[in-house]
Amino acid sequence: MKNLFSLLLLFVFTSGLCAQVGHTVPAGTVPNEHNIVGAEYPRVGEDGRTYFRVYAPDAQKVEISFRGEMKKGEDGFWTLASEGPEVIGFHYYQIIIDGVSVADPNGKPFFGMGKWVSGIEIPEKDGAYYKPKEDVAKGSVREEWYYSAIRNEWRRSLVYTPAEYDRKPEKKYPVLYLQHGMGENETSWANQGRMNFIMDNLIAEGSATPMIVVMDNGNIENFQPRPGENPNEARSRFGADFPSILLNEIIPHIESNYRVLTDRENRAMAGLSWGGLQTFNITLNNLDKFAYIGGFSGAGRIDTNQLDTAYNGAFKDPKAFNEKVRVFFLGIGSEEHPERTKSLCESLTKAGINNIYYESPGTAHEFLTWRRCLKEFVPLIFK
């Protein structure tokens, strides 16, 4: 154990030596945009290939998660180059040294897969919508702490306020409650999702109404059934207290501390993956509180053969549903088996339930899908 600890320390303090004298970086490559300042690796090529270089001279085996085993050189550096281009977008990875998985000390941390990990970005050619622009005013992402009596703990929301928020002290704003997926937390939309830049750009071009966006922890960071517990029972318990926290603690706290409009017509909710399930469970059971609903690769299922009883009869009267819900948005990636969501949308339409289907081309269950979903959803709400 002592030797392993020493090895990891050696790795942490020396991995920054990637660009030492004598090493030439691959032509046509640039450092991963999520590297810490000065770190040359990992690198991304113009063709989408990725390159990793790790200094671990005493290691017996080094791997990059989801990519394979690295090759050791005589200088103690391990290297790996992808055989072909990686899929565009943001992807998690870890370095595995002799079986021990660690985040890359050369990279900025992201909370995903239930732990702090690293991320690599394969740029999207038309990805300006999620990047900062010089001529666009920037909103703020603020930390908002509150005490939860339901969980007996201090909790944190990340709250996006548009660029004009502090310049217009008399104005009140609609609110979007935006949820992360399983294995992620309240930081995920701002970090991996680039939501603040997406919002800034949409607002600046006049496509979106200036709004406040609240991101909180859905209590779905790590799925761990209890010993001997039925997995289905564990899933039903997973994040089950979040609806009460949102409705009884988060929303009242936001409405007491921010200049927001408090009627249902100015309240929306959306979520990705398991956060989409939470969105359905909360909004469809509380249509008196939400007028806009978005599911991005949502884990929720709606039995279209029993629409009259689903979600306490929310769909029983299509006309009433359509009058209450201004936007019912269902998005998914083309590479994550979109048939289920597309079929659901078609069945809802046939039953008279208005909805909007969006399919992200060429993406799977990943943040590029969800960035695109947010970009499509936000211009539709609060109009």
The two three-digit tokens of residue 182, written as one number = 């399983």
Q: Which residues contact 216 (CB under 8 A, 6 or more apart)?
A: 155, 156, 157, 158, 177, 179, 186, 245, 246, 250
Q: What pLDDT, on a 0 to 100 scale, did the predictor assign at position 303?
A: 85
- Which residues in the chain are classed under CATH 3.40.50.1820? 128-380
Count CB neighbours of 177 within 10 A. Answer: 25
The two three-digit tokens of residue 123, written as one number = 């740029």
Q: What pLDDT, on a 0 to 100 scale, did the predictor assign at position 235?
A: 79
Phi-psi region of 190 (alpha: psi -120 to 50; beta: other; left: phi over 0): alpha
Q: Report the distance separating Cα 90 and Cα 66, nearest Å.
A: 13
Q: Report the distance separating Cα 19 and Cα 95, nearest Å.
A: 18
Over residues 65-102, the pLDDT tens digits come to 999 999 999 999 999 999 999 999 999 999 999 999 99
Q: Mean pLDDT by 10-residue block, N- to C-terminus, for the chain (383 residues)?
A: 49 45 86 96 97 96 96 96 94 97 95 96 94 97 98 98 97 98 97 98 98 97 83 82 97 98 98 96 98 93 88 96 98 96 95 98 96 98 96
Cis ω for the linkage preceding 42 (within 30 of 0): yes
- Which residues in the chain are classed under CATH 2.60.40.10? 2-123
**C-alpha gyration radius of the chain:** 23
Q: The whole model's pTM is what? A: 0.92
Residue whose entry in the numeric block shows the structure tokens 């929301």: 157
- 128-380 adopts what CATH topology? Rossmann fold (3.40.50)
Residue of 107, 82, 289, 184 lying closest to 279 (CA atoms): 289
Count CB neighbours of 291 within 10 A. Answer: 22
Residue of 363, 364, 367, 375 lying closest to 113 (CA atoms): 367
CATH number of 2-123: 2.60.40.10
Q: What pLDDT, on a 0 to 100 scale, did the predictor assign at position 249?
A: 98
Please give the sequence-ordered ranges of beta strands (E in DSSP) within 99-152, or none if there are none. 100-102, 110-112, 115-122, 140-148
